[in-house]
Chain A
Amino acid sequence: MTTTYAYYPGCSLHSTAAEYDMSFRAVCDVLEVDLREVKGWICCGTSPAHSTSRLLSHALPMKNLSLAEQMGLTEVTAPCAACFARLRTSLYEAKRDPELHRQLQAVVDGPIPELVSVIHPLEILGALGPEIAEATTHDLSELAVVCYYGCLLTRPPKVMQFDECETPSSMDRLLGFLGIRTLDWSCKTDCCGGALAMTETDIMLKLTHDILEEARGVGADAIAVACPLCQANLDARQAEVEERYETRYGLPVLYFTQLMGLAFGISPKRLGLHKHLVGVDAVLESVAPVTEPARGAAYG
């Protein structure tokens, strides 16, 4: 059975995180999850909006949810953790605050969506364990990965209602379906300073450094992420961190959807793996076709 979701890519997945978009679409293809991109979507406003205008910060997400509803769809998926958080927060706030709801009606064309819910790809794909095991054709069990959830997927829990807020495990479980070994570590939900990347670079470098140190410390071969801001800091800025702290990590930072794609035998090119700033060769070298008996063991 195919399920259809309204797909809100957000600005990052059309630019700095194109590989997240490519790999998410590719694995959804394999798993027969039907994605319909929200027609005419606009930016969710992210931290510049919520730091400067409460109304604007909810009007932009609400407009997108309303556009999705106009397509006749009620489940909206947003892979970017920042977009996901803004969309869920706006639904929560509009329900909680009647005055805000009234103002939103005045600034968003069309009715405020009442039935729409927002769902993260980790929630959609995490429910497809048997299908994932079925689709897995390549073995990644050589890899030891740490899952980095970042701030926005789980916090604040009252609003996000996503996994366990201080020690989430949904991404670990999902990668487990593929036979990937995930390691325990203490930085799962630490902040990488994404909101400050363009401005307070020193703070961002320190926070990102702490995360990379811990990842290396527990012996990870790669970091799995679900947020374009986290990915940009850990991958694109990794060389800067290395220079500042006079060290060397060489740690590939992959979207969890890229790891899924590799396990499904999708070509690295289609998964956008050539777009990374830290080389991913070590990851690619550890991918091997699965032999039949090992296949069943990946799930269960």
Chain B
Amino acid sequence: MTDAVLMVPTHADLAEAVLRESGQDVNLCYQCGKCAAGCPVSYAMDYSPFQLIHATRLGLDDLVLNSKTIWLCASCETCTTRCPQDVDIAGVMDTVKTIVLRRRVKPTVPRVAAFYQAALGSIRLHGRLFELGMIVGLKRRTRELFKDTGLGMRMLRKGKLKLFPSFSGARTARKIFDRVRKLENQRARGASGEGDRK
């Protein structure tokens, strides 16, 4: 960490955006550390969940937006379940990721962001997740062509991966995706005065 990062700003922009978008008030956190103690992934994170919540409170927005923590979170909900102050920490992680993508900050764990995009692309196109197509899309994005190939072959042989997508529901899904995007763009434009770039 550099000194510049540790300069505490007077205003917590991101904390306000999180409150607005998810209803979660990080200022309720009293730093008991319970969320970090139960987190199965904290050993691999750059900031443990309670550090991340605290940094958000302090307005260290760049640190939070560029943390690996948000992408490594496995969404297991242990922290949210155990927080004595009823902070939905897993929900905060989700909201921060959403803001990172919307502000076009470069994700610090690009592979995870690429997975989200590949999966959502497949769902939008087919209505249901087409695993094989999604895996190909992910490989294209991450250029990790041979990751998990052996496992994929074994699952294909066991008839656990479909060779062809189903298209039932494709139209329904596309409509929803497009309407959501439109509404979100409208809101982002409305909120751009409050610090969110579109």
Please list the residues of chain A having a beta carbon within 8 angstroms of any beta carbon in chain B.
Answer: 11, 14-18, 40-43, 45-56, 59-60, 63, 97, 103, 106-109, 151-152, 155-157, 165-166, 190-191, 193-196, 198-203, 207, 236-237, 240, 274-277
Per a CB cutoff under 8 Å, which of B40, B81, B147, B159 touches A156?
B81
Known: A48-B116, A53-B180. A60 touches B173 (CB 8 A): yes
The 3 A-B pairs of least Cβ separation, nearest first, read A191-B76, A155-B77, A48-B119
Alpha-carbon distance between A109 and B15 when the two chains are bound, in angstroms: 33
Q: Is B101 in contact with chain A by the CB < 8 A criterion?
A: yes
Classify the secondary structure of B's interface with A: helix
Q: For residues 48 through 63 of chain B, which have their beta carbon under 8 Å from a beta carbon of chain A? A: none
Contact B74 A59 (CB under 8 A): no
Contact A156 B179 (CB under 8 A): no
Q: For residues 124 through 172 of chain B, which have their beta carbon under 8 Å from a beta carbon of chain A? A: 127-129, 131, 135, 138, 147-148, 151, 154-155, 158-162, 166, 168-169, 172
Q: Is B47 in contact with chain A by the CB < 8 A criterion?
A: no
Known: A203-B41, A203-B44. A40 touches B168 (CB 8 A): yes
Contact B120 A52 (CB under 8 A): yes
Alpha-carbon distance between A276 and B158 when the two chains are bound, in angstroms: 7
Alpha-carbon distance between A50 and B72 when the two chains are bound, in angstroms: 14
Alpha-carbon distance between A63 and B170 when the two chains are bound, in angstroms: 13
Contact B112 A200 (CB under 8 A): yes
Contact B154 A54 (CB under 8 A): no
Interface-centre pick from B41, B77, B98 (highest chain A CB count, 10 A): B77
Contact A151 B159 (CB under 8 A): no
Size category, B interface: 35 or more
Alpha-carbon distance between A235 and B101 when the two chains are bound, in angstroms: 34
Known: A16-B160, A191-B40, A277-B154. A201 touches B176 (CB 8 A): no
Known: A40-B168, A50-B94, A190-B40. A15 touches B161 (CB 8 A): yes
Contact A40 B172 (CB under 8 A): yes
Question: Chain A's nearest CB lies how many Å from the CB of B5?
Answer: 25
Known: A52-B97, A52-B120. A11 touches B75 (CB 8 A): no
The chain A residue with its CB closest to the CB of B23 is A97
Alpha-carbon distance between A51 and B113 when the two chains are bound, in angstroms: 9
The chain B residue with its CB closest to the CB of A165 is B81
Question: Chain A's nearest CB lies how many Å from the CB of B50?
Answer: 17
Contact A109 B97 (CB under 8 A): no
Contact B184 A53 (CB under 8 A): yes
Contact A14 B176 (CB under 8 A): no
Contact A52 B101 (CB under 8 A): yes
A-B contact pairs, 6 of them (CB 8 A): A54-B95, A156-B81, A200-B109, A207-B40, A240-B151, A277-B154
For B147, the chain A residues whose CB sits under 8 A away are 201
Known: A48-B115, A151-B77, A190-B40. A198 touches B148 (CB 8 A): yes
For B135, the chain A residues whose CB sits under 8 A away are 198
Per a CB cutoff under 8 Å, which of A55, A97, A191 touches B74?
A191
For A56, the chain B residues whose CB sits under 8 A away are 120, 176-177, 180
Known: A43-B173, A193-B74. A198 touches B138 (CB 8 A): yes
Question: Chain B's nearest CB lies how many Å from the CB of A200?
Answer: 6
Question: Chain B's nearest CB lies how many Å from the CB of A220?
Answer: 20
For B93, the chain A residues whose CB sits under 8 A away are 51
Known: A63-B176, A155-B81, A195-B74. A42 touches B94 (CB 8 A): no
